[in-house]
Amino acid sequence: MAGRVIYIVRSWPRLSQTFVVNEVLALERLGVGLSVYSLARSGESLVQPEVAKVRADVVHLRGTGRRHAAANARDALSLLRRHPRTYLGTAWFALRHPGLAAGYGDCSTLACFAHASEVAAHVVRAQGPQGRASHVHAHFAHDPALVGLLVARLTGLGFTFTAHARDLYQIPPSSLATRARAARAVVTCCEANARHIRHSVAASDLPPLLVVHHGVELDRFRAGPPRPPAPEVPTVVSVGRLVEKKGFEDLLRAIALLGHRGVRLCLRLYGDGPLRARLLELRESLGLAGVVTLMGARTSDEVAAALAAADAFVLTPRVTDDGDRDGIPNVLVEAMACGLPVVTTAVGGIPELVTDGANGLLVGAKDVAGVADSLERLVVEPSLRARLGCAARITVEESYDVDEAALRLREVFAGDVGWQGEAGP
């Protein structure tokens, strides 16, 4: 497609958002020029190795505080001189709608307007090695989508955004509707999210709503060397940020229940987050110090190696009291791509990926006994592990290829949104 796509994200790079980096790389393989604008720095010391492969220029937007006032004023003056009516109209829109930043997010509407003005100033000067911009796409429906909406108003570019999880469920429906009205299309990663959007936004306000699965690199995530069909102590892996919605406390209690039954396994839990201390304390109180290892945050290469060496994968998400939840966790797709049998919970879009008994085992959220029962089945039935793992790989090959997803997004960015519904092969 002609012209580069402006990609707006909350922070870059984020260890837990490999799906964004994978999407950027897949689009670049298709020849799509990108410029990434990040509202903040992640502050993380561990960086995914894939980030080094990204060719797009990455701009970390400056803050909106006093020390950036002069630079922000220069951007405003530049836009005002070039397109006074457009700039003043967009500024008035932001002033009249402070509630657009309500709910989950870190920026006020005026702060989002300042970020948008910086991006728009870059756009009108045609900065970047790949030339003039042709489209604006935001990842996440909260602050990034609001910035994208304002950039589109300031520049006249087409605008789309991808809604994921907390960013979608924790902003007011009226704010979501305003973003949707301004968009050429709304993209989301699962049909469960799409149902929420249809419920929250009037049909008259909703542009084409497209379900495009986050894909994985099928050549990178694949089965490792053959494992013993009946290992003495099977290795089960789980991966995720240590936050409430991942349900890791339920998982540890399920592992403890298996121990009471005499079922032996070891759990390696990869990830870090605010609940680490609580999980360590729970592990000790349940007597799981020799069974559960908290591996900490690791790169995607390390996670891929851990999945290839595992016997099974487990993830137990839940919906939190404030509505936060997963869509389709990318690591679940990665585990299935590696041919692992999975045990997981029926939360968000997960039932769209995992069919109980066909390509994995699915239980209810917070069902500790159900998780334990399913893991026990995998431990004692090697043939079940093999059958589910094979079916899991086929599922990912058919519907979760990152390059297929990028093809559909390229169509969206080019203005071809005449198709709707779930992305398929």
Distance CA 77, CA 381 (A): 69
Look at residue 417 in the predicted model and tell me its pLDDT. 61
3-class SS at 128? coil
The predicted pLDDT at position 64 comes to 78
Residue 18 has a pLDDT of: 87
Read out DSSP for 151-219?
HHHHH--EEEEEE-SHHHHTS-HHHHHHHHHH-SEEEESSHHHHHHHHHHS-GGG---EEE-PPPB-TT
Angle of helix 143-155 relative to helix 173-182, nearest 10 degrees?
Answer: 30
Sign of CA dihedral 21, 27, 30, 35: negative
- Return d(Cα 117, Cα 79) in angstroms, integer: 8
Per-residue pLDDT of the chain (425 residues; tens, 9 = 90+): 668 999 999 999 888 888 999 999 999 999 999 999 999 988 888 888 899 999 999 999 997 778 888 988 999 999 999 999 999 999 999 999 999 999 999 999 999 999 999 999 999 886 544 468 999 999 999 999 999 999 999 999 999 999 999 999 999 999 999 999 999 999 999 999 999 999 999 999 999 999 999 889 998 998 888 877 778 899 999 999 999 999 999 999 999 999 999 999 999 999 999 999 999 999 999 999 999 999 999 999 999 999 999 999 999 999 999 989 999 999 999 999 999 999 999 999 999 999 999 999 999 999 999 999 999 999 999 999 999 999 999 999 999 999 999 999 999 999 876 534 433 32
| Per-residue model confidence (pLDDT) at position 227 | 77
Q: Please report the pLDDT score of residue 2 as a whole number.
A: 67
For residue 56, the model assigns a pLDDT of 94
Give the helix, strand, coil percentages of the chain, each rounded to 5: 45, 15, 35
3-state secondary structure of 233: coil
The predicted structure's pLDDT at residue 72: 86
pTM score, whole prediction: 0.91
229, two tokens: 């069909």
